[in-house]
Chains A and B, each alone.
Chain A
Amino acid sequence: MTGRFPLPGPGRIAWAALAILFFCLPLMGLPPNRVGLLNHIGLYAVLALSLNVILGQAGMFHMGHAAFFAVGAYATAILNTVCGWSILATLPVAGAAAGLFAALVAAPIIHLRGDYLLLVTIGIVEIVRIFLINDPFGLTGGANGLINIARPVILGFKITRPPHFFYLIWGFAAVSMLLFHWLENSRFGRALNFIREDTVAAEGVGVDTARYKLMAFVIGAVWAGFAGTLYASYMRTISPGSFSFWESVVLFMIVILGGSGNQKGVLAGAFLVVGLPEVFRFLKDSRLMFFGAALVLMMIFRPQGLFPPRRRTYAPPPEAS
């Protein structure tokens, strides 16, 4: 023990150096299209980190995350283009709308067993998508979606170019990681793990499993709603096609491949699932096929994902050790 502030180990230093290097990338003359790719990875990373709370921490097979993402993105787009709100002002509303939506749709289904939950959440995504296409009250713009969404303005600075967005998106991703890390290491995070390991036992030792499952959904959805705001102002155009069942599958795969329950793994998963297909452009149309095969092989040979979940570390009070 090195006292109250133990020195960081070599592993931590390496990770910190990598993070700093990463955040310098746009300054080192990375071409804009590559920065654009990193931005996409960042958006998927935020979404996957929020899905990780539900799928990784609580172990609920949720394949409808794109629905919450859509609610956030459309909330921002409608408030901005119709009501003239600034993007930043729509952020909390987008999160709240997605969270509320999650609370409503998840409440009746959270008791369902794994694979049934999976199917119902797929159903929810499809219903949301069809709902958006049908242009209710003339608000969602039907199949064409909404256009001319404004850029975010932060402290008078208008964010327009990919490198600006890089810092916005990845800054948000970094803050999310920190907050989720804290959440993971609290009674809330532990309760989700108890539910994942054995729901009956968790209930039997005093965990309000229904409530915590619901809260996991709400937290994950709120963050997906935030991601929706970022996405809407980054793309400036959104349409139902961006929130399909397939997007949910991609997010699901990011979490599973990277290592469900491990944030570093989820980040790695985002790079792998979103980034690699871009790098392997020469494979062209066949890359998704390889991807499917990779999933099968992964489950056979390394089902825990690239980065298996880490144990929490505790410093017990001195008299214990």
Chain B
Amino acid sequence: MIILSLNNLTKSFGGLVAVAGVSFEVERGDVMGLIGPNGAGKTTVFNLITGASRPDDGHIFFDGRRLERLKPHRIVHLGLARTFQTIRLFPRLSVLENVLSGAHCRMKSSIISSLLRLPAQRREEKAALGRAMAELRFVGLDGLWRAEAGSLSYGDQRRLEIARALASEPKLIVLDEPAGGMNERETLELRDLVARIRAKDITVILIEHDMSFVMEVCNKIVVMENGAVIARGSPDSVRRDQRVVEAYLGADED
């Protein structure tokens, strides 16, 4: 079953074409890697999927709905959550509150019931706290729930972003360079974490430069260069693709 499909997506910034007619599909249960040299348009594709920017042309279908005209928060509400390439936590708020920000869109209490602290609001608040703690336990940060998010180590901040995204109960999660800035041990733990996310029946798309990570974690890979898809398929087939080899040898040595 296809959960996400991109259809001829195009986006340019002031004459510079960042994404030129990109199409691909993601099946439910996939862990898909989006790779390509710097400037290939990967993050732009992510921004289009998550509603951070709007395509000039083309369509995005997610779970039977069209996304390209929706605001980011609506897309999260539909079950598509993200993390940011440059970590965007709320650094001055606590770890727990950061996770609660993800849970926000699944809570229903109105402003009036919050203002009057009605029983239903208190019950919901308690349940949300429990769920947030569960997500923290899932990524292994439950011991740090009181800490200020900005005080965490780089790797922990990345995991906190994942917990925050998971708290919105997504069907699909989009990770922008999740292993960026992580050391070897943290990367190993992340590999395990992605597997456990997949085991929860959550589809994953990730951008990553660490090739061994991508090849091991993903079951499908899409390769972009200069705003277009140049190859797709299983890790093995992509590794052998002539154009991919050229793109990487030509542009990016690491």
Contact = CB atoms under 8 A, between A and B. Distances in A.
Given A188-B114, A201-B88, A206 B104 contact: yes
Given A190-B100, A191-B104, A320-B142, A203 B71 contact: yes
Interface in A301-320: 311-312, 314, 316-317, 319-320
B115 A179 contact: yes
B129 A314 contact: yes
Contact of A203 (B72, B102, B116, B129): B72
Interface in A187-216: 187-191, 193-194, 197-198, 200-210, 215
Contact of A206 (B90, B109, B145, B168): B168
B126 interface: yes
B133 A317 contact: yes
Given A186-B125, A203-B73, A215 B145 contact: no
Nearest to B77: A206
A219 interface: yes
A183 interface: yes
B165 A182 contact: no
Contacts of B116: 179, 182
Given A205-B164, A208-B73, A317-B133, A194 B90 contact: yes
Given A191-B104, A204-B84, A314 B111 contact: no
Contacts of A319: 133
Given A204-B84, A209-B73, A316 B101 contact: no
A186 to B, nearest CB: 3
Contact of A317 (B84, B114, B126): B126
A320 B133 contact: yes
B92 interface: yes
Contacts of B130: 316-317, 320
A179 B71 CA distance: 31
A191 B107 CA distance: 11
A316 B76 CA distance: 25
A180 to B, nearest CB: 8
Say what secondary structure dominates the interface of chain B.
helix
Contact of A205 (B81, B121, B137): B81
Contacts of B133: 316-317, 319-320
B115 A206 contact: no
B111 A202 contact: no
A216 to B, nearest CB: 10
Q: What's the interface size class on A, roughly? A: 20 to 34
Contacts of B42: none
Contacts of B101: 190-191, 194, 202, 205-207
B229 interface: no
Contact of B102 (A186, A206, A311, A314): A206
Say what secondary structure dominates the interface of chain A.
helix
Contacts of B126: 317
B9 interface: no
A151 to B, nearest CB: 28
A280 B72 CA distance: 52
A183 B164 contact: no
Contacts of A200: 52, 88
A320 B145 contact: yes
Interface string A204-238: 11111110000100010000000000000000000
Which of B52, B81, B88, B96 has the most C-beta atoms of chain A within 10 angstroms of its own C-beta? B88
A201 B84 contact: yes
Nearest to A179: B115
Interface string B158-178: 000000110010000000000
B52 to A, nearest CB: 7
Contacts of A206: 72-73, 76-77, 81, 101-102, 104-105, 168
A186 B114 contact: yes
8 contacts: A183-B114, A189-B114, A194-B101, A200-B52, A201-B88, A201-B89, A203-B71, A205-B76
Interface of A: 179, 182-183, 186-191, 193-194, 197-198, 200-210, 215, 219, 311-312, 314, 316-317, 319-320
In the complex, the 6 A-B pairs of residues with the closest C-beta atoms, listed nearest first: A206-B105, A206-B76, A186-B114, A201-B88, A320-B133, A197-B90
Given A207-B101, A312-B94, 19 more contacts: A183-B114, A187-B100, A187-B104, A187-B107, A187-B109, A187-B128, A194-B93, A197-B91, A197-B92, A197-B93, A204-B76, A204-B88, A205-B101, A205-B168, A206-B101, A207-B105, A312-B97, A316-B133, A319-B133
